[in-house]
Amino acid sequence: MSQPVNEDPLDTPLQFLKGVGDRRAADLARVGLHTVEHLLFRFPLRYEDRSRMLPIASVRPGTRASLTGRLVHAGLRTTRRRGFMIFEAILSDDSGSIMLTWMNQKFLANVLKAGQHLVVYGLAEMKGHGGLQITNADFEILDDEEGGETLHTGRIVPIYERAGAVTPKQQRKLVFDALHRLPPDMRDPLPEEVRQRRGFPTRYAALHATHFPPSDVDLETLNIFDSLAQRRLKFDEAFEFQLGTVARRRLALAEQKGGTIVVTPQIRETAKRVLPFKLTPGQFNALKEIVDDLQKPHPMNRLLQGDVGAGKTIVALLAAVVVMENGLQVAFMAPTEILAKQHFATLSTLLVTSRFRVALLTGSTTAAKRRQYLAEIQSGAINLVIGTHALVQGDVLFHRLGFVVIDEQHRFGVLQRATLREKGLHPDALVMTATPIPRTLALAMFGDLDSSSIRDLPPGRLPIKTRMIPDARRDEMHEFVRSELQAGRQAYVIYPLVEESEKLDVKAATEMADTLQQQVFPEFTVGLLHGKMKNDAKDRVMKAFAAGQIHLLVSTTVVEVGIDVPNATVMVVEHAERFGLSQMHQLRGRVGRSQHQSHCLLVYQTPMSAEAKDRLSAMVETTDGFIIAERDLQLRGAGDFFGTRQAGLPTFRMIDLDRDGGLMDEALQDAEQSFALVVRTPHDISELLRSWSARFRLMEVG
Ligand code: ADP
Ligand code: MG
């Protein structure tokens, strides 16, 4: 078989490599390696310096050594164990000699012969015979290698992760052969101008130097993937990713929204009348950025970040008023029914004197009511609809939908936009989140989303006092809670969800509620809330807690998002060591909502891992959600920040978001600058986005 001409050499099937027959090809295919590209972009896990040759006499037992010398003896030896063979050889240089043995590798008898010049690498150990010995050494016969270039020894050697039947050594050999088939003038995806300005080697040179680094490159640098060649390849990936981001932004700019929005002095007045207090500077700025966007011809796609209690709702409502004043409808979505109801209560109260009609549409809306609402939404009689995901997913038809607000769930928010677009709707969209997303992640996940942040809190809030309490001293916690309840305040006790068994969790929470009610706080009313309860039961409990009839609410993490009961001043987190940092911060945000001093008590079991300790300490040290988010990212790493992969983090081959944020920024600048050079036609854009989505397996964003 000869290789077809004019094809990208990276697309060459691996069968074309030396020594890859059907069987080896099948082994490679099983682990996802089909083409030269797959092989060459499976980078070493780490590197080992095997370049410094030691005189044999200076080898110390217990160390790994690279040696070179001549074989003075080589032969098979049988042992007493039947069928077990040892191949023995003696390697000599001017300084001395050492024994080499290989277990059960009979074929070596046909490979290694006395007189050959060898380079070996391996662990030297003291053996029974009193001399040094290396067992199963990596070796290369120099006389047979063209130009004396070694792969596995005598250099900085790449160590690959074993993949199925393909050993690290085999991959090394394959990579070496593949590299030598590449034409030095192979296609380079980086514009020449960018490459030169950044002082990067060509892609060809970078691939060579990444797999088989020249001996003058620092080993440490290689092992943190930061040599110039490695940076060049990481930059390629970042650049490719950012081209997609830029493409999406440009497409979004070209998109037209349904209706135009203007802001007149009269509209400003109406909005002011809705406002029950003065906005903080942070709220004011965010609102300004949003309203500026509303007046643009393309749909807004904006993230509003702000700590729990920062007052995002009112900002969204004021923007909604502007939109409704322009004759367009608004959909306001919350992740749970409880939250939807709460928003409905807040928003309909604020809008009570306005001419706008507000409706709540959820899973528990009766069929008759639902039918009525659907008709009124379709006719435009209802201006603002509040609900859960179902709002845009189901059969709801809007008269003129102009603005979508998505609360507390950026992941879901991102998906909703795609759904809306499929329905031919192009409303402005505002996604609100109380879990600030560290900048690097935000860029990678939502590079095409604009972002506003509220970093201040409404005036008069007392910072929440947080402390850690070991489980053994829970009496202290009980006494503290009692004193707050006696002062007329309310408290939460949160139980963690252990994913394996929701049943067990519910049982733990239920038992906890019983114990607290009967044995600890008989004089108060203890309530229970968990995910397995029916909606109306949950509702009753929440209402009773909001009304102050329940003093202490035991709950699983369902209260995590958005619940607003200002009189609650104590948040007890049980098994705090099991919670993620951001999640604890969210929970803490349930208190600190009034003029009363609030407290967060983190009850933990010992012993606790160092990481858990770090998390709890971070909680004690700061109440700033933006700092918490950065700490959380450091502690968990990007992959785990949102808990799961489906969170929409792109899959990178080389980029590590914890480490390569700076590179991503630089690549974004270059992608912006040279976009027109790389992407010339609308066809190019759609091609780019297609391969981009496939490559980074991102869910539909924006
Ligand atoms: P979040 O950002 O967590 O969604 P909310 O919008 O629920 O916060 O606001 C928290 C509380 O703060 C609400 O009770 C709200 O009425 C109040 N609030 C918001 N902004 C201000 C402000 N500028 N001045 C006083 N109170 C405010
Ligand atoms: Mg909120």
Question: What is the secondary structure of 136-166 as a DSSP string?
Answer: S-EEEEGGGSGGG--SSSSSEEEEPPPBTTB
Contact 341, 415 (CB under 8 A): no
- What's the rounded Cα separation, in Å, for the pair 532 and 228? 55
Q: How far is the CA of 282 from the centre of ligand 1 (A)?
A: 12
Is the pLDDT assigned to residue 394 strictly greater than 80? Answer: no
Q: What's the whole-number mean pLDDT along residues 134-158? A: 74
Residue of higher predicted confidence among 22 and 392: 22
How high is the pLDDT of residue 554?
A: 93
CA of 391 to the centre of ligand 2 (A): 18
Ligand 1 touching residue 590 (CB < 6 A): no
User: What's residue 684's pLDDT?
Assistant: 86
Site to probe by mutation for ligand 1, drawn from 274, 277, 314 as the one with most ligand atoms within 8 Å of Cβ, is 314
pLDDT mean over 375-394? 89
Nearest of 327, 333, 329 to residue 384 by alpha carbon = 329
Whose atoms come closest to the Cα of 340: which ligand?
2
Confidence at residue 148, expressed as pLDDT on a 0 to 100 scale: 55
Here the tokens at position 405 are 């607000």
DSSP 474-524: HHHHHHHHHHHHHTT-EEEEE-PPPTT-HHHHHHHHHHHHHHIIIII-TTS
280 pocket-lining for ligand 1 (C-beta < 6 Å) = yes
Whether 617 shows a pLDDT value over 90: the answer reads: yes
Q: Which of 272, 275, 283, 313 has most ligand 1 atoms within 8 Å of CB, for mutation?
A: 313
For residue 363, name the pLDDT band (cuts at 50, 70, 90). confident
Rounded CA separation 270/579 (Å):
44
Is pLDDT at 1 greater than 60 in this prediction? no
Could you tell me if the CB of 434 is within 6 A of ligand 1? yes
- pLDDT (average), residues 550-561: 79
Report the nearest atom of ligand 1 relative to the CA of 278. 23
CB of residue 282 inside a 6 A radius of ligand 1: no
How many whole angstroms from 593 Cα to the centroid of ligand 1?
8
Average pLDDT value for the chain: 86
**pLDDT band at residue 374, thresholds of 50, 70 and 90?**
very high
The yes-or-no verdict on residue 594 having pLDDT over 50 is yes
In the structure, what pLDDT confidence band is assigned to residue 640 with cuts at 50, 70 and 90?
Answer: low
pLDDT band at residue 646 under the 50/70/90 scheme: very low
Neighbouring C-beta atoms of residue 603, cutoff 10 Å: 20
Over 80: is that where the pLDDT of 349 sits? yes
Q: Which of 361, 336, 307 has its CA nearest to residue 556?
A: 336
pLDDT of 145 > 50? The answer is no
| Position 47 pLDDT exceeds 50 | yes
Residue scoring higher pLDDT (173 or 437): 173
Rounded percentage of the chain residues whose pLDDT exceeds 70: 91
**Residue of minimum CA distance from atom 22 in ligand 1:** 458
Q: Which of 274, 277, 342, 588 to mutate to test the pocket of ligand 1 (most atoms within 8 A of CB)?
A: 277
What does the pLDDT read at residue 465?
96
Q: Cα(530)–Cα(553) distance, rounded to whole angstroms?
A: 10
pLDDT in tens, 11-35: 889 888 888 888 888 988 988 899 9
State whether the beta carbon of 310 lies less than 6 angstroms from ligand 1. Answer: yes
Widest CA span in the chain: 101
Helix, coil or strand: residue 474: helix
For ligand 1, whether the C-beta of 154 sits within 6 Å is no
Per-residue pLDDT for 2 more than 60?
Answer: no
235-244, 423-432, 464-473: which range is least confident on average?
423-432
Radius of gyration of the chain (CA): 33
Gap from CA of 10 to ligand 1 centroid (Å) = 56
Residue 311 Cβ < 6 Å to ligand 1:
yes
Determine the pLDDT at residue 622. Answer: 92
Q: What is the Å distance from ligand 2's center to 372 Cα?
A: 28
- 314 close to ligand 1 (CB < 6 Angstrom): yes
**Minimum-distance ligand 1 atom for the alpha carbon of 312:** 2
Q: Where residue 702 falls among pLDDT bands split at 50, 70, 90?
A: very low
Q: Stretch 50-67: mean pLDDT, rounded?
A: 86
Mean pLDDT of all residues in 469-495:
95
Residue 198, SS3? Answer: coil
Name, of 9-13, 477-481, 563-567, the range with top average pLDDT: 477-481
Mean per-residue pLDDT, 670-683: 89
More confident residue, 659 or 13: 13
Higher pLDDT, 488 or 689: 488
Q: What is the pLDDT of residue 210?
A: 95
Residue 107 beta carbon below 6 angstroms from any ligand 1 atom:
no
pLDDT of residue 65: 86
Q: Which ligand is nearest to the CA of 349?
A: 1
Q: Which atom of ligand 1 is nearest to the CA of 566?
A: 14
> Tens of pLDDT along 74-130?
888 877 777 788 999 999 988 889 999 998 888 888 889 888 888 888 999 988 777
Give me the DSSP letters along 375-399.
HHHHHT---EEEE-THHHHSS---S
Ligand 1 centroid–CA 417 distance in Å is 26
Pocket lining: 312 vs ligand 1, CB cutoff 6 Å: yes
DSSP three-state, residue 609: coil
Ligand 1 atom 4: the closest Cα is on which residue?
Answer: 312
Q: What is the mean pLDDT of residues 384-397?
A: 84
Q: What's the pLDDT score for residue 701?
A: 42
So what's the pLDDT on residue 106?
83
What gap in Å lies between CA 335 and CA 416, rounded to an integer? 12
Q: Name the more confident of 434 and 469.
A: 469
Give the pLDDT confidence of 293-302 residue by residue, as tens digits: 999 999 998 9
Q: Which domains does the chain have, with CATH numbers?
A: 69-141 (2.40.50.140), 265-454 (3.40.50.300), 465-622 (3.40.50.300)
What mean pLDDT is predicted for residues 415-421?
A: 68
**CB contact at 8 A, 386 and 360:** yes
pLDDT at 417: 67
Q: What is the pLDDT of residue 495?
A: 86
Q: Looking at this protein, which amino acid is placed at residue 504?
A: L
563 Cβ below 6 A of ligand 1: no
Euclidean distance between CA atoms 58 and 362, whole angstroms: 79
Neighbouring CB atoms inside 10 A of 417's CB total: 24
Q: Does the beta carbon of 277 lie inside 6 Å of ligand 1?
A: yes
> Residues 186, 192, 195, 201: what is their CA dihedral angle, to the nearest 10 degrees?
30
Structure tokens at 646: 């489906």
Instruction: Name the band, by pLDDT with cuts 50, 70 and 90, for residue 428.
Output: very high
User: With a 6 A CB cut-off, is 591 part of the ligand 1 pocket?
Assistant: no
Q: Give the mean pLDDT of 134-157.
A: 73
